[in-house]
Amino acid sequence: MIQYNMDFLIAGLIFLLILFVHFVRYKQLTGISGKLFWIFIIGAALCSISDLVSCMLIQKRNPAYNSLIIGVTTFLYLMEVLIPYVFYGLIQILRYCEHKMKKRNIMLGMIPVIFMEFLVILNIFHGQFFYCNTNGEYLYGPWYLMIYVYTFFFVVIAMYNFIFHQDEYGKNELRAVWEFVVVGFVCTAIEAVYSQYLLTEFGLIIGIFIVFWTLYNPQTVVDSLTGVFAKGYLNQWIPEQMKRGQKFHVLQISIWKLKQVNKLYGNSVGDKLLIDVADELNQITEGNYIFRIHGNQFLIFSMSQADYEKTKQEVQKINHSIHIDLLEADLSDLTSYKKIYAYTKENNYFINYLVNCAGFGDCCDIDKMNIDKQLTMTNVDCNALLYFTKVFLDDMLVRNEGHIINISSIAGFMPGPYMCTYHACKSYVLLLGEAISYEIRKTNVKLLTLCPGPFISSFVKEAHNDYTFTKITPVSAKAVALYGYKKSQKGKKVAIVGFKNKLIVFATRFFSRSFITSISAKNIKKHT
């Protein structure tokens, strides 16, 4: 008879208890992902407890405990059937960001779960997986290995989706899942060889710990002082919302002259002020997401226009000196640039993310070119971008923090007859960005020049050129924005959107400028 070593099970339960206490003390992530992780924790706990109790009873080798052993072990098997499905669901959620999960995949996954749960229940009467003889011995049935095949099936399906769609997962998600699988596989393999060591549940718990600290740790999500969401989580949260197509409205709240408060009354008074502001915002912004992004700044994300308007009104009731404005300006006019920048200074706005994306093109023969339109184009595409890059860059350098994304194009890598001004403007943006990025390379301020190809917008229609739509399938503006945000966070200097566009740009290195110009001219002229 096997003498089970239950030390690992007991240690795993202690670890799980610590995780449970730590998890419930802090603000947690909302949504299906957080709920499913809760199920993961509870499932692992129930598996470990039932396995521990079952082994203790089995080692007594007393026929009087047979019914109790069958009952506890059946419950253990029912939970072990559920755990692989929960893991599969978690992989799906991480990929599709909850709201865009493929329900078909989830429903199909339920079929083997229900089937196996049914077989486990039938085991009570027929002993296909396990049974106890009249001497009180616990024995495996002929279908015992089926539970391993079932688990292996779900892991393979989950990892297949995971491996072949790695680009749809974040870096932390990739690391967490791989470490979870490796730890689980090693522990299960050891128990398969040395069955007296109960390592399967222990490996599951360690894997859950890895996922927790990597993806669900509240201390990385929540600001320790105020209790609202932290800046670090914002960098994860925004791409998730963009990937799922969620629209949101943003309010920025700044505490005026907080530094002076700290100097005059001490940091403890300043901290109390921040805590009071966060508490007030939590009371009036139910259902919204609040982030503390800097010492004195909060961002409030509303998921609907109605919530945004309601929150705006409530915030203004707290302090009537707060103004939330949408600025409209003609970016072909230099005076408009200065007015926008002056407005941000007058209202003590700290611009930490600047995206220069205004621009338009025009396709025509040089003899039919409207020179006024071309000059307007250079003002919007180049001058406005240069002005805002310069003035806000200076402010960012003083704080030694900030991100600027300037929108160029793959057109900036090649001449464009019949769209000469536009191509020249985008080349200007590209070269300007590369030069500035070099100068600020030793600071914490990052400037990215984003070079998309065609994406779905009104640009092509306005430019009177459908070339991009006929030659290259356009991507969504959302996909371009998400790609640019991720590359900016990584500190990239230049980013080309899309594999085909990268090939086009790469190919320009191997041909003469005259050849590239002639090819560009033929393609543009053909579709004007």
Helices (H), 127-230: 146-163, 171-193, 200-211, 218-221
Domain termination site, one of 152, 187, 219: 219
pLDDT of residue 287: 61
pLDDT of residue 448: 94
pLDDT of residue 390: 94
> CA 386, 444, 331 angle in degrees (round to 5)?
20
Co-location of 421 and 285 in the same domain: no
Q: Does 99 score more than 70 pLDDT?
A: no
Co-location of 338 and 383 in the same domain: yes
Whether residue 36 lies inside any domain: the answer is yes
345 φ/ψ sector (left φ>0, alpha ψ -120 to 50, else beta) = alpha
What separation in angstroms does the CA of 294 have from each of 254, 445, 446?
9, 15, 17
Instruction: Report, as an integer, the average pLDDT of 492-506.
Output: 87
Mean pLDDT of the chain: 80
Whether residue 328 lies inside any domain: the answer is no
Whether residue 224 lies inside any domain: the answer is no
Give 499's pLDDT tier (boundaries 50, 70, 90): confident
Q: Does 251 score more than 80 pLDDT?
A: yes
Structure tokens given for 86:
């929960």
Alpha-carbon span 58 to 8, nearest angstrom: 17
pLDDT of residue 36: 74
Specify the range with the lowest mean pLDDT, choosing from 31-40, 266-275, 484-493. 31-40
Instruction: Report, as an integer, the average pLDDT of 434-456.
Output: 89
Specify the range with the lowest mean pLDDT, choosing from 218-232, 348-362, 464-478. 464-478
Alpha-carbon span 274 to 297, nearest angstrom: 9
Write the CB contacts of 301 (distance below 8 Å, at least 6 apart in sequence): 248, 249, 250, 288, 289, 290, 291
CB burial string 337-356: b at 16+ within 10 A, e below = beebbeeeeeeeebbbebbb
- Compute the Cα dihedral for 477, 479, 485, 487 and give only its sign: negative
CATH number at residue 419: 3.40.50.720
What separation in angstroms does the CA of 385 have from each of 10, 68, 366, 433?
62, 75, 25, 10
Co-location of 103 and 238 in the same domain: no
Whose CA is closest to 71, among 119, 132, 27, 128?
Answer: 132
CB burial string 512-527: b at 16+ within 10 A, e below = eeeebbeebbebbeeb
pLDDT of residue 389: 94
Residue with tokens 């499932």: 43
Give 459's pLDDT tier (boundaries 50, 70, 90): low
CB 384 within 8 A of CB 356: yes
**Total domains in the fold of the chain:** 3
Whether residue 366 lies inside any domain: the answer is yes
pLDDT of residue 326: 67
Whether residue 83 lies inside any domain: the answer is yes
Whether residue 44 lies inside any domain: the answer is yes
Alpha-carbon span 410 to 247, nearest angstrom: 28
Angle, helix 477-489 to helix 231-243, in steps of 10 degrees? 160
Co-location of 461 and 358 in the same domain: yes
174/3: higher pLDDT: 174
Instruction: Report, as an integer, the average pLDDT of 60-74.
Output: 88
Whether residue 323 lies inside any domain: the answer is no
Q: Is 289 helix (H, G, I), strand (E, B) or coil?
A: strand
CB burial string 23-59: b at 16+ within 10 A, e below = beeeeebeeebeebbeebbebbbbbbbbbbbbbebbe
Domain termination site, one of 293, 318, 343: 318
223 φ/ψ sector (left φ>0, alpha ψ -120 to 50, else beta) = beta
Q: Does 286 score more than 90 pLDDT?
A: no
pLDDT of residue 470: 46
Co-location of 423 and 313 in the same domain: no
Instruction: Report, as an integer, the average pLDDT of 63-85.
Output: 88
Instruction: Report, as an integer, the average pLDDT of 184-202.
Output: 80
CB 452 within 8 A of CB 410: yes
Co-location of 297 and 392 in the same domain: no
Residue with tokens 């292996």: 152
CB 430 within 8 A of CB 452: no
pLDDT of residue 293: 83
Alpha-carbon span 451 to 411, nearest angstrom: 8
What separation in angstroms does the CA of 333 have from each of 303, 342, 354, 427?
34, 15, 19, 22
| Phi, psi angles (nearest 5°) of residue 49 | -65, -50
Q: Does 94 score more than 80 pLDDT?
A: no
CATH number at residue 252: 3.30.70.270
Measure the CA dihedral 243/245/247/252, to 10°.
Answer: 0
Structure tokens given for 403:
């991100």
Q: Does 429 score more than 90 pLDDT?
A: yes
CATH number at residue 199: 1.20.1070
pLDDT of residue 98: 45
Co-location of 85 and 127 in the same domain: yes
Q: Does 462 score more than 70 pLDDT?
A: no
Instruction: Report, as an integer, the average pLDDT of 156-172.
Output: 75
Structure tokens given for 475:
């991507």
Co-location of 196 and 237 in the same domain: no
* Partners of 284 in the β-ladder: none
Residue with tokens 């070269």: 431
Count of C-beta atoms within a 10 Å radius of residue 124: 14
Co-location of 416 and 482 in the same domain: yes
Domain span at 374 = 334-526
What proportion of the chain, given as a percentage, has pLDDT over 90? Answer: 11
Co-location of 211 and 275 in the same domain: no
Write the CB contacts of 518 (distance below 8 Å, at least 6 apart in sequence): none
Count of C-beta atoms within a 10 Å radius of residue 320: 7
Co-location of 197 and 308 in the same domain: no
Domain termination site, one of 200, 219, 238: 219
Whether residue 370 lies inside any domain: the answer is yes
Co-location of 398 and 419 in the same domain: yes
